[in-house]
Structure 1
Amino acid sequence: MKTSTHTYDWRSEFKRLDGAYAQSTMKSYVKDVEIFVDWCAAKGLEALPADVDTVCRFLEGQAPGLAPSTVRRRLYAIRKIHRLLRLPDPTHDEDINIALRRARRAKLTRPKQAKGLTREYLEKFLAAEPDTPTGWRNRALLSLGYDLLTRRAELVALRTEDLAWRADGTLRVLIRRSKADPFGEGRIAFTSTRTRALIDDWLQWRGQNIPWLFCPIYHGKALARPLGTTTVRDIIKQAARNAELDDYVAKDFSGHSLRVGAAQDLLTMGQDTAAIMRAGGWKSVNVLGRYLESAEHNVWV
């Protein structure tokens, strides 16, 4: 059994990635490497540098309790820290590929799909929001997220300056950066007239001195910082409860539900896959396909 003979300040190496990767990605990498280093220490194995057998054992040991995508991300984190430390990289050996395939085949469950917040649910959610500053914000956020098919991170990153008021009563919105657009080329999307009216109501109360479009409210005052992505999830789940949906229905809504539901509605209305991909900024047909599965039955019956 090998023991570790090297000590590296590996956490500081990740600071070199500032600005090149999303903060959420960097946090995941740090946590994944920490898990790997601790696992190696518990097994009496050398983590940095690791050999192929150690990485394979780690991946196969992680597989039973994790989604294949999480196991793969941990492999990427191990690869990244070896490269940052300029150590021999063990992660491209064929045995690594075999270990990944074994991990994937051991987990034959389908990815859990968020329930789509379709137009039918959106109407109920908006109607159930209270006539308070929090309710005005939540109505605007739900309606805008649905219109733009946004991810949570895209929604909370929006700034007031990203909106342009159009003569036809709608808004033109610049979505500057997303998961599928790491270099910030952005995409343009448009809202309904109702969404614009809801945004106007929210901004009239919020005021003009906060750069982020959506912000927290504390003791009746708007705070000059953006909402967190988990808050978007909480708003959607609370809206489901406000609408008095059955618990077995409400529990399946998540932070992805706006994006899923809007895509399903577009398919039901006859839009093709290419148009839906453009509208939501998707790069992968496979990911979009999972979103649309439950809507396809309604199209063809």
Structure 2
Amino acid sequence: MSDQIQHKWRQEFKRLEGAYAPSTMRAYYTDIEIYIQWCAQTERMPFPGSVDTVCAFLLDQGPAFAPSTVRRRIYAIRKVHQLLCLPDPTHNEDINLTFRRIRRSKTSRPRQAKGMTKDYLGQFLAVQPDTPWGLRNKAMLSLGYDLLARRSELVALAVDDVEFRGDGTLRVLIRRSKADPEGYGRVAFTSKRTGQLITDWLDWRSKNFQPLFNPIYHGHVVNRHLSDTSVKHLIKSAAKDAGLDPGEANDFSGHSMRVGAAQDLLKAGHDTAAIMRAGGWKSINALTRYLENAECNVWL
């Protein structure tokens, strides 16, 4: 592929910024780079790509990646062709049939993150150090659990999104989420424990910074949001520091707060409609996967 086209697709992709989540944009860039590299290795033309080329690419990717990843790569290829005003091969029925074969060939169940239920949350809070990092981490863990938060939602929170209430709890506005790209937002409430931990963190840090959770460098707050990967690292580190078996600790992820809180709500007798509202789910299908392990124990 010529340097001119390489530059042009990147330039056109910039038009998408702001219309899609940053994580989606990063994934699309990665998908197209992988597609271009594969085309170079197989001596095929990526743009405009033929139906045969895209089908061959998908079949190459299918064994190594989840169907959701392969489907996203189809979307990325489609988007580039649309932006460059090129004939789009991805709507051809052969593409659809190829993807269906890939999806049907995947018989293994998706791996579910281990839930950070209230018992684990207590252990993870207890091992945080008595330092500014510990103050921040305890506040993040407790707030993430109470909000049933995705990691991207947690790190995107600003001080203005948090309202301190007279009873010691918090009212939190989650402005945007994966299931709410238009930004209608959802309101959630916290425990008094979380209200106190957020207060402790802000008392040390002050409210002069808009990001609710910041990096700390050499004991000083950096005025920017944490990355969403920091949530995953925090949960895995807390599991390890709590003395859990390495295999069990590895089962935790950035989604564990959301999974664990949903399981606890089910065990406490809340119905799925209430849990969906609390966590901002639009579809019951994803929630059902989260609740499977909890459901196994409800009747014990």
Q: TM-score w.r.t. structure 2 length?
A: 0.96
Deviation at 1:88, TM superposition (A): 1.0
Matches within 5 A, 1:264-275: 264-275=263-274
Unmatched runs of 5 consecutive residues or more in structure 2: none
Aligned to 1:39: 38
> Residues 196 and 5 (structure 1 numbering): CA distance in 2 closer, same or farther, change over 3 Å?
closer
Aligned to 1:180: 179
Identity of aligned residues (%): 64
Q: Equivalent residue of 1:271, what SS?
A: coil
Deviation at 1:6, TM superposition (A): 10
1:190 aligns with 2:206: no
CA–CA separation in structure 1 for the residues paired with 2:207 and 2:190: 21
CA–CA separation in structure 1 for the residues paired with 2:52 and 2:197: 57
Deviation at 1:44, TM superposition (A): 1.9
Q: Equivalent residue of 1:91, what SS?
A: helix
Aligned to 2:216: 217
Name the amino acid aligned to 2:116: L
Deviation at 1:106, TM superposition (A): 2.0
> How many residues were matched structurally?
298
CA–CA separation in structure 2 for the residues paired with 1:5 and 1:14: 17
1:299 aligns with 2:292: no
Q: CA RMSD in A?
A: 1.3
Aligned to 1:127: 126
Q: Equivalent residue of 2:187, what SS?
A: strand
8 Å contact from structure 1 (residues 5, 46) kept in 2: no
Aligned to 2:153: 154
Q: Mean alpha-carbon deviation: is it higher for 135-144 or for 37-46?
A: 37-46
Q: Equivalent residue of 1:64, what SS?
A: coil
CA–CA separation in structure 2 for the residues paired with 1:42 and 1:199: 52
CA–CA separation in structure 1 for the residues paired with 2:17 and 2:240: 39
- Deviation string 1:241-295 (CA, Å, 9 cap, x unpaired) is 2211121211111111000000010111111111111111112211111111000
1:29 aligns with 2:33: no
Name the amino acid aligned to 1:162: D
Aligned to 1:168: 167
Name the amino acid aligned to 1:296: E
CA–CA separation in structure 2 for the residues paired with 1:6 and 1:128: 52
CA–CA separation in structure 2 for the residues paired with 1:140 and 1:69: 33
Name the amino acid aligned to 1:288: L
Q: Equivalent residue of 2:19, what SS?
A: coil
Q: Equivalent residue of 2:139, what SS?
A: helix
Q: Mean alpha-carbon deviation: is it higher for 98-107 or for 115-124?
A: 98-107
Deviation at 1:300, TM superposition (A): 2.2
CA–CA separation in structure 1 for the residues paired with 2:2 and 2:77: 18
Q: TM-score w.r.t. structure 1 length?
A: 0.96
- Deviation string 1:215-248 (CA, Å, 9 cap, x unpaired) is 1111111111111111111111111122111212
Aligned to 2:64: 65
Q: Equivalent residue of 1:56, what SS?
A: helix
Q: Equivalent residue of 2:89, what SS?
A: coil
CA–CA separation in structure 2 for the residues paired with 1:300 and 1:57: 49
Q: Equivalent residue of 1:239, what SS?
A: helix
> Residues 5 and 30 (structure 1 numbering): CA distance in 2 closer, same or farther, change over 3 Å?
closer
Deviation at 1:176, TM superposition (A): 0.5
Matches within 5 A, 1:132-143: 132-143=131-142
1:77 aligns with 2:76: yes
Q: Equivalent residue of 2:274, what SS?
A: helix
8 Å contact from structure 1 (residues 60, 102) kept in 2: no
Aligned to 2:96: 97
8 Å contact from structure 1 (residues 177, 186) kept in 2: yes
Name the amino acid aligned to 1:150: A
CA–CA separation in structure 2 for the residues paired with 1:173 and 1:289: 25
Aligned to 2:249: 250
Name the amino acid aligned to 2:67: P
> Residues 129 and 49 (structure 1 numbering): CA distance in 2 closer, same or farther, change over 3 Å?
same
> Residues 53 and 165 (structure 1 numbering): CA distance in 2 closer, same or farther, change over 3 Å?
same
8 Å contact from structure 1 (residues 114, 254) kept in 2: yes
Deviation at 1:152, TM superposition (A): 0.5
Aligned to 2:227: 228
Deviation at 1:41, TM superposition (A): 2.0
